[in-house]
Amino acid sequence: MIHKTKKLINAPENIIPEFIEGFVGSHSDLLTVEGPTGRAVVARHGPRDGKVGIVIGGGSGHEPAFLGYVGQGLADAAAVGNVFASPSPEHILDAGRAADGGKGVLFLYGNYTGDVLNFTMASEDLAAEGTPVKQFAVTDDIASAPLERHRERRGVAGDFFVFKCAGAAASLGESLDSVHAAATLANDRCRSMGVALGACSLPQTATPNFEIGPEDMEIGMGIHGEPGMRRARLAPADTVTDMLMEPVVQELDLKSGDRVAVLVNGLGATTQLELFLVYRRVQQILQTRGILIHANWVGNYTTSLEMAGASVTLLKLDDRLTQLLDHPCHTPALTVGPIKTPEPTATRFERKVQSVNAEAVVVRETLATSGRISPAIFVGMMRAVADTIHAEKDHLSRLDGVLGDGDHGVTMDIGWTAVCQAFADRDKDEVISQTCERMAHAFLTAVGASSGPLYASALRAAGKAVADRLNLDGTATAAWIKGMVDGILDRGGAKPGDKTMVDAWVPAAEAAVEAARAGGDELAVLTAARDAAKAGAHHSAGLVSTRGRSAKLGERSIGHIDPGAMSAYLMINAMTGALEALWSSSETL
């Protein structure tokens, strides 16, 4: 029997806009919302002419991160994603445009695949408009990779210090390069380690992401409800704190006379009583070593919904970081020192946006018409995919809960629902390549996460692969599937054997191309791709994950099917089934 959790929510699909409305409404003196997506929360007294704009962002569920750190002296804007999912490029662009004061924009976020992909795409788009852009991914989590691969580490509660220092540098009027250097310095001298005592549950599933015994704890978990690096028996607070502090102190090479800032961070369900026990032990350890605490914060600063647990973060200070840490700021979640609200200016910097390329014109008369998959039939196949993903979303989320943050089914369902809604505006003369572009834009805008950029890139590449076609025959169907794979590989960089969606898509494309070469028709090509994708998805269970959030689990990922590979199989299976049913029906008639 699956245990269900209880949450105070309305419709799950409305939780983020309702959350933003409530949060901004409660801090209307500090915050506002700008841009057509409604996902860019902007400081009323933050962006100003001649200042580097600071944009932070990530998934919801980490409150007060990220929008709680928007305000004067810190971040100018935050892009707000769905629960545990990166904001989309459109969300980030809204924030970037609002923060732009003519001196460039710095994007700051945690080092997760979805955030990297989405912020990178937004950086490319904002730069194409003429705005200088830099970006930085925080990598403070010791548990997620060894020191020699520290750039692969996750960003967890260390976001707090990196955001604070970069925001201060921008507030002081420093250049884009100097502000980026401040973020880099803070990240290099910041380390975190955490422990979870219980799982959290997504609002859409109301199911714990993983199971943990009453006497167990997860060591080294992230902030997305995923399991930790290893499981151990529950221990007293001092013992747990010693366990967290040892690698942090060692990696920072702390010695007597050094100065640090301390963050004892709750993950959502841990009481202040417990957190101060942890801080007490942190203080003892540092005092014994002769290490001075310059500043400290104890409480919920980067959470994981209702997860029980805590993390310890230390920032090793020098004169530069001390100046930035002490610089005044005023946000809903953090106030440092006295700060004077500037007088509103009569005018703001006028952004000069460079023109973007116009959409290519399609001349239908020049397109190849052989093949039985017409644009209308193609749309029907895509609707079948959406129906299948919706029906299997809970199953996919359960697969993801074992390896990651448990939201893959939810995320894919959001994306495909948006695709179907986009079909309502589809022109009857729209060809398959144009439909693919429509789908890519809808999926990317709705989803963010890692799936958004990957499937948007896949659909765009697939559309280009058949841009000379009105209908698809067997060869063109194989080209479309191969285009999907090419787009995923180009954007994501994963390879077969990494335990990702690629482990289903690559064999599917190879089988499709081979079937087309053998003279197979559209259904034969799809059937071959489906069977290969299914075998690839099940093969992924025996692999050790080396990409994405599940890569941090190492050997613990063996025995579990990758949810991305499974959803890839389900998509191709739905396309195959829809075409097969249509052909059977027409033959009967």
Compute φ and ψ for 154, nearest 5 degrees: -80, 160
The whole-angstrom separation of Cα 141 and Cα 156 is: 6
- Is 488 within 8 Å of 451 (Cβ atoms)? no
Rounded to 5°, angle at Cα 324 from 185 and 64: 90
- Is 494 within 8 Å of 500 (Cβ atoms)? yes
The whole-angstrom separation of Cα 487 and Cα 444 is: 14
Rounded to 5°, angle at Cα 182 from 181 and 186: 115
Closest C-alpha among 38, 31, 23, 169 to residue 108: 169
The whole-angstrom separation of Cα 563 and Cα 209 is: 14
Amino acid at 58: G
**Cα dist. 74→26, 135, 170, 184, 191 in Å?**
19, 16, 8, 16, 21
Bridge partners of residue 79, in order along the sequence: 40, 57
DSSP H helical ranges for 217-365: 237-251, 272-288, 319-326
Task: Write the DSSP symbol of residue 130.
Answer: T
> Both tokens of residue 220?
């080294």
| Catalytic, out of 62, 91, 224, 330 | 224
Half-sphere exposure of 197 (CA within 13 A, CB side): 19
The whole-angstrom separation of Cα 550 and Cα 501 is: 13
Using the Cα atoms of residue 86, residue 227, residue 403 and residue 497 in order, give the sign of their dihedral.
positive
The whole-angstrom separation of Cα 93 and Cα 448 is: 12
Closest C-alpha among 89, 104, 259 to residue 180: 104
Q: Is 224 a catalytic residue?
A: yes
The whole-angstrom separation of Cα 232 and Cα 228 is: 10
The whole-angstrom separation of Cα 154 and Cα 187 is: 11
Closest C-alpha among 459, 449, 292, 431 to residue 364: 431
Q: Which residues does the annotation mark as catalytic? A: 224
